[in-house]
Amino acid sequence: MAQHKGELNFLSRSDGSALYSIDDTVILASVHGPSDVKVSNRKHDGLHLDVCFSPRTGSSNIGEKTIEAIITHTIKQCLLAHLHPRAGVTLTIQEMQSGGLDLSVSINASCLALLDAGIQMSTTFAAVTCCLTSDDVCIVEPSEIELKESKAVLTYVFDGTKMDVITTHQEGAFDCKQLLKCLAKCKTVAKDV
């Protein structure tokens, strides 16, 4: 398995922050909240979650918005939103170094940052990325070169208590059997994460 490293409470002004890295991909996640939110975003029965992913070069495009949407979807399922009505949580993710595994590192960093901030969650979650090479070999946590040469990249997010799949994200062409094979492999790795 690749080298995983994490550091909590990296930033002083944030309520919770985490610096997470898998090999060459380094991502910093920071959480502010629960605190007041604009009237337009206020929800009477729960927490409003705002996710912002910023790449190193500054301009935010569709790729970044996709990552934001996936992370929002994942966190909404794990956060106990009803405990903080009319409040908002802002999660900011900054790409420090890119090694290709941005999505899974962001998700892992977000989980640690939320824990550091002390926001109530029903479960923790872990993300694992794997890629399928042209000879149908499934490599978990590939390096940048392996990612470029692969024909499909799959990311799975598992919850911490029941090891169920919360979110999946796939790019590339593959069939059902390969999907299940990768899923099984990722599950075993996620237990370590």
Partner 1 sequence: MKEIPLSLCERSSVIENLKSQIRLDGRQFMETRSIEVNFGKDYGCCTVSLGETRVLAQITCEVVEPRPSRPNEGKISIYVHLSPMAAPHFEMGKGGEIIDEIQQILDRNIKESRCLDVESLCIMAEESVWQFKVDVTVLNHGGNLGDACNLAAVAALRHFHRPDVTVEEDGRVTIHTHEEKELIPTFLKKIPVCLTFALFEVEDDCITLIDPTETEER
Residues that bind partner 1 (CB under 8 A): 11-14, 17, 24, 26, 28, 30, 32, 35-37, 52, 54, 56-58, 60, 88, 90, 92, 94, 96-99
Rounded to whole angstroms, the Cα distance separating 61 from 143 reads 24
C-beta closer to partner 1: residue 88 or 142: 88
Is 73 strand, coil or helix?
helix
Dihedral sign from CA coordinates of 54, 55, 58, 63 = negative
Q: How far is the CB of 120 from partner 1 (least distance, A)?
A: 20
Smallest gap from Cβ 76 to partner 1, in A, equals: 19
Identify which of 50, 47, 164, 57 has the alpha carbon closest to the alpha carbon of residue 110: 50
182: its two tokens: 């990768």
Nearer to partner 1 among residue 17 and residue 150 (C-beta) = 17
**Which of 19, 126 has the CB closer to partner 1?**
19
Q: How far apart are CA 11 and CA 27, in angstroms?
A: 13
Least distance from partner 1 to the Cβ atom of residue 124, Å: 21
- Shortest Cβ distance from residue 83 to partner 1 (Å)? 19
The CB-of-94 to partner 1 minimum distance in angstroms stands at 6
Q: Toward partner 1, which CB reaches closer, 16 or 138?
A: 16
Report how far residue 87's alpha carbon sits from residue 1's, in angstroms, rounded to the nearest whole number: 39
Of 85 and 160, CB closest to partner 1 = 85
Task: For residues 51 and 46, give the distance between their C-alpha atoms in angstroms, rounded to a whole number.
Answer: 16
